[in-house]
Amino acid sequence: MTLVDQASQLRTLVMQRQRPRANVIAVTSGKGGVGKSNIAVNLAVQFSAAGKDVVLLDADLGLANADVLCNLDLGFNLSHVIAGSKQLREVMVKAPGGFRLVGGASGLARMADLSDFDRKRLLDALGQLETQTDIILIDTGAGISPNVLTFTRAADHVLVVTTPEPTAITDAYAVIKVICRDGVQRRVSLLVNQVRSPAEARIVYDRISRVARQFLGISVYDAGAICVDETVSLAVRKRTPFLLADPRCPASLCIAQLAVRLQQGCAPSPLNGHGGFFSRMSSWFRK
């Protein structure tokens, strides 16, 4: 190794030590069809526009669709990393809006029910991200499967997405209940999607936060709402993030407000004293 190579390696090590670990935000929901993946994609666009280095991990294992929303044709995805045929850097692609996307697999039943060995391989591959980016957004699957809980229980901040529909509200509370069952302090926020008025969003938030405080003894933070906007459905059909299709539409303005709220809530939390995100994942795998 030449002196130049040694100097370059030293600079890299110094930068890694000085750079704080990434903030990890898991975006989840109790049921499918509430717009979770679309919100995760557009949040990644918004954070990137604000100058953050963002990686979006499509961890909706088996039913991934972030690549579809970004009009990307991925040659490789997370299943190849888990299989050991590709490195993480080889499957990570630049997405519209400037963030990097790690695509998940769609239609593979094996990905929806990973073995302990597969999860360990995934953990090893993802560990490198902590010191290489500012924000890691994780689009989890819906529900309370072991794969979903692995990510939500280890994240610094869990954003639970619901709609005003009664079934979605019930399932959102169920997810919050299961996530918080381990007793670890973490920030959990509720986002109400597809609302027709701020009052409608407030009713949903108040209902869930009151029950969570009364029966779970936890505080659920208010992440706000995303209003009903025809631009969203039109952008989905065109396979482009709605924030790029129309940055000034009502839904885009709601995403901007959401990003600010999440950024304020991503300050160092009590979890930071217990190791990084992936070390917490590792401890969860060993249980």
The three state secondary structure string of 248-282 is CCHHHHHHHHHHHHHHHCCCCCHHHHHCCHHHHHH
pLDDT class of 158 with cuts at 50, 70, 90: very high
pLDDT exceeds cutoff 60 at 1: no
- Check residue 30 and give its pLDDT: 95
pLDDT exceeds cutoff 90 at 183: no
The pair phi, psi for residue 76, each rounded to 5°, is: -140, 155
**Could you give the CA distance from residue 109 to residue 287 in angstroms, rounded to a whole number?**
24
Nearest of 179, 113, 181 to residue 147 by alpha carbon: 113
- Check residue 282 and give its pLDDT: 58
Assigned token pair, 62 = 């088996």
What is the residue-averaged pLDDT of the chain?
84
**Could you give the CA distance from residue 249 to residue 255 in angstroms, rounded to a whole number?**
10
Nearest of 59, 261, 287 to residue 181 by alpha carbon: 287
What pLDDT, in 10s, does the model give residues 217-254? 999 999 999 999 999 999 999 999 999 999 999 999 99
| Exposure on the CB side of residue 286, measured as CA atoms within 13 A | 6
Q: CB of 190 within 8 A of CB of 151? A: no
**Of 29-43, 152-166, 220-234, 242-256, the least confident:** 152-166
- Check residue 148 and give its pLDDT: 83
pLDDT class of 3 with cuts at 50, 70, 90: very low
- Check residue 112 and give its pLDDT: 56
What pLDDT, in 10s, does the model give residues 55-86? 999 988 767 889 999 999 888 888 888 778 88
**Could you give the CA distance from residue 221 to residue 224 in angstroms, rounded to a whole number?**
9
Q: CB of 30 within 8 A of CB of 143? A: yes
pLDDT class of 267 with cuts at 50, 70, 90: very low
Best-predicted range by mean pLDDT (42-51, 118-127, 131-140): 42-51
Nearest of 70, 8, 79 to residue 42 by alpha carbon: 70
- pTM here? 0.86
**Could you give the CA distance from residue 102 to residue 93 in angstroms, rounded to a whole number?**
7
Residue 201 or 86, more confident: 201
pLDDT class of 17 with cuts at 50, 70, 90: very low
Q: CB of 151 within 8 A of CB of 26? A: yes
- Burial-class residue 22 by CB neighbours within 10 Å (0-12, 13-18, 19+): buried
Q: Determine the 3-state secondary structure of 228 from DSSP.
A: coil
Q: Is the dihedral angle over the CA atoms 269, 141, 193, 252 positive or is it negative?
A: positive
**Of 24-38, 125-139, 264-278, the least confident:** 264-278
- Check residue 186 and give its pLDDT: 80
pLDDT class of 127 with cuts at 50, 70, 90: confident
